[in-house]
Amino acid sequence: MNQQKQVQMVTADPSAFGLFGLAMVTLVASSAKLGLTDGVSFVLPWAIFLGGIAQLIASMLDAKHNNTFGMTAFGAFGLFWLGVGTSWLIDFGVFGEAAAQAVDPKQLGIAYIGYLIFSVFMTIGAMETHKVLFFIFVLIDFLFIGLSLSTLGVMPEAMHTLAAVAEFSIAILSFYGSAASVLNTHFGKVTLPVGQPFGIFK
């Protein structure tokens, strides 16, 4: 008589790790936008490893949880930071002078518009996760509004400031979200509240 056994693989929630990656890269990147630091050379490692690779790892782990929202969010933003980092490398001439001289910043502005569209519909989805994540996405919306318009030359100074403030706020709220995910799970109770879903669509 054949007996079938089911083995369930349990994996940890990767949200804390993914949010930490987001928090770190936006903190360092916003320091340059706010004028607290200069240049993006030392932003690059954090863009590649924390913004890019860490969020891609979180995305793959969320896929194992059958979490389409988390997988898509972390995956898309992980690839965003790898794309931004590569764009900076092109601008630095790492891929040759011809590539650096052919740079058109407006193409990056178009990419930001694409991510704004993505972020808007993900903001709607975030309404049914928790309020901290929802407000992170609202701030991401403002970040991409500022980035796209400033890069395309529309009120560049004001939009650059909007992007800088939004990005710094994303960092602070993402640190909180990461801490809440770790501590609430670790202690088995609500240590740091994140707010209930809005409940509009469910």
CA trace torsion 154, 118, 52, 72 (10° rounding): 180
Tokens linked to 163 = 């992007």
pLDDT surpassing 90 at residue 25: yes
Tokens linked to 40 = 């993006």
Q: What is the DSSP letter of 189?
A: S
Between the CA of residue 128 and those of 94, 102, 123, 124, what are the distances in Å?
43, 43, 9, 8
Q: How confident is the model at residue 6 (pLDDT cuts 50, 70, 90)?
A: low
Q: How confident is the model at residue 18 (pLDDT cuts 50, 70, 90)?
A: very high
- What sign for the dihedral angle of Cα 67, 73, 79, 82? negative
Spatial distance between the Cα atoms of 100 and 122, rounded to a whole number of angstroms = 33
Spatial distance between the Cα atoms of 164 and 157, rounded to a whole number of angstroms = 11
Residue 156: predicted pLDDT: 97
Tens of pLDDT, residues 120-161: 999 999 999 999 999 999 999 999 999 999 999 999 999 999
Residue 201: predicted pLDDT: 83
Average pLDDT, the chain: 95
**Contact between residue 195 and residue 61 where contact means Cβ atoms under 8 Å apart:** no
Which of helix, strand or coil describes residue 94? coil
Spatial distance between the Cα atoms of 47 and 33, rounded to a whole number of angstroms = 14
pLDDT surpassing 90 at residue 202: no
Residue 165: predicted pLDDT: 98
- Going by C-alpha positions, the residue among 30, 80, 71, 73 that lies closest to residue 51 is 80
Spatial distance between the Cα atoms of 55 and 72, rounded to a whole number of angstroms = 10
Residue 11: predicted pLDDT: 80
**Contact between residue 22 and residue 175 where contact means Cβ atoms under 8 Å apart:** no
Which pTM was predicted?
Answer: 0.93
CA trace torsion 73, 75, 78, 82 (10° rounding): -130
Tens of pLDDT, residues 32-68: 999 999 999 999 999 999 999 999 999 999 999 999 9
Spatial distance between the Cα atoms of 110 and 104, rounded to a whole number of angstroms = 11
